[in-house]
Amino acid sequence: MDKKVFELETVVLDDANNAVVIIDQTLLPNEVKYLHLTEQADIWEAIYELRVRGAPAIGITAGYGVYLGVKGSQANDFAAFAAEFGAVKKYLASARPTAVNLFWALDKMEACLQANQDKSVAEIKEALRVQSEEIKAEDIRTNLAIGEYGLSLLQPDTGILTHCNAGTLATGKYGTATAPIYLGQERGYNFKVFADETRPLLQGARLTTFELAQAGVDVTLICDNMASTVMRNGWVQAVFVGCDRVAANGDTANKIGTSGVAILAHTYGIPFYVCAPTSTIDMNTATGWDIHIEQRNPEEVYKKWYTQPMAPETGVKFFNPAFDVSDARFITGIITEFGIARPPFTQSLKEIFKKKAEAGY
């Protein structure tokens, strides 16, 4: 496999220069430009504007961000240091509301802070650095495990449809929904992937086709409204998508348009799999109705990618939710790093977390 795609670093900590380094994903596929973010406001803006995006990558960025946010602290006792930490954490947590990895990573950093409170401030800072690097390392291990479980469900020459980008650009590396595809590519599975363009921000067109083509995967770009046609034509045998938050009952928030794909797959009898690191499963959220769905600037719908507005700017209302919820009843399986949860998810997700605890996490 052409591994160029894995040379891309979605998020890196440049500790020597106090920077989080990201690829500016708003410029892809036309330009690969790395940004060195040193100010908290720039890290926040990069998450908000989707320069770095995808639930796991947002979590990794937040982990590095909160570490850098307190690295320069002059506090010399725990209480003062913890107060500064709390302010940085609160600020970064406000960047985007739906992807639970943002809060998960920040909570992990806070747990590390609390576990080291008897140490000197310098030692706590070092513990936070190590924890932030571990969040990324854990994500990469997780994605490879999801890849193996996902691949175990697939036959060679399968047609796979995916929505948005749950790829290497959305994670530490390998992606979640793309991990089985990359592993299959390495092992000669010859998958045929259909990438939904994913309006309005075109993560499928700009990011998923970019990565898969770089890895030599057979990928076809379709508009979102073509998914039904490729399914009806018999070209798709499985759907693999990522997620931003899975509720305890299996309802899954992912990029807007995913729920329509889930319903289509159900209608055509095509298995619909959600690839979910346990960091994206929120057992404290009972159902999809409890998930806060991010509403974004309406200009993304009719203006952002066009030289001229594609709708009258007056007399028209706009609605731009960034995510939707796929009902658990349309989901065939939730693929985690600790195995594949099957319906009823209320039970099987608990078992996944039991396995995670048994593994010492």
CB of 254 to ligand MRU, least distance (A): 5
Q: What's the number of CA atoms in the CB half-sphere (13 Å) around residue 179?
A: 30
244 is catalytic: yes
CB of 312 to ligand MRU, least distance (A): 27
The residue among 81 and 149 lying less far from ligand MRU, judged by its C-beta, is 149
CB of 256 to ligand MRU, least distance (A): 8
CB of 122 to ligand MRU, least distance (A): 35
Q: How far apart are CA 361 and CA 352, in angstroms?
A: 12
Q: Which of 196, 244, 251, 324 is catalytic?
A: 244
Q: Which two tokens stand for residue 298?
A: 């309406």
Per-residue CA distances from 216 to 5, 167, 219 (Å): 10, 14, 9
Distance from chain centroid for Cα 49: 15
- Among all residues, whose Cβ is closest to ligand MRU? 242
User: By the criterion CB under 6 A, which residues form the site for ligand MRU?
Assistant: 50, 53-56, 99, 164, 166, 170-171, 175-176, 203, 242-244, 254-255, 322
| Packing angle, helices 100-115 and 55-71, rounded to 10 | 40
Q: Give 246's strand partners.
A: 252, 281
The residue among 107 and 123 lying less far from ligand MRU, judged by its C-beta, is 107
The residue among 126 and 305 lying less far from ligand MRU, judged by its C-beta, is 305
Q: How far apart are CA 43 and CA 67, in angstroms?
A: 12
CB of 200 to ligand MRU, least distance (A): 10
Q: 141: which residues sit within 8 A by CB, 6+ positions away?
A: 337
- Antiparallel, parallel or unpaired: β 34-37 and 323-326: unpaired
CB of 121 to ligand MRU, least distance (A): 34
- Within the chain, where are the H helices? 4-7, 40-48, 55-71, 78-93, 100-115, 121-151, 179-186, 203, 209-214, 227-232, 258-268, 299-302, 345-358
The residue among 156 and 321 lying less far from ligand MRU, judged by its C-beta, is 321
The residue among 176 and 336 lying less far from ligand MRU, judged by its C-beta, is 176
CB 63 within 8 A of CB 132: yes
Q: How far apart are CA 65 and CA 314, in angstroms?
A: 40
The residue among 244 and 337 lying less far from ligand MRU, judged by its C-beta, is 244
Annotated catalytic sites, by residue? 244
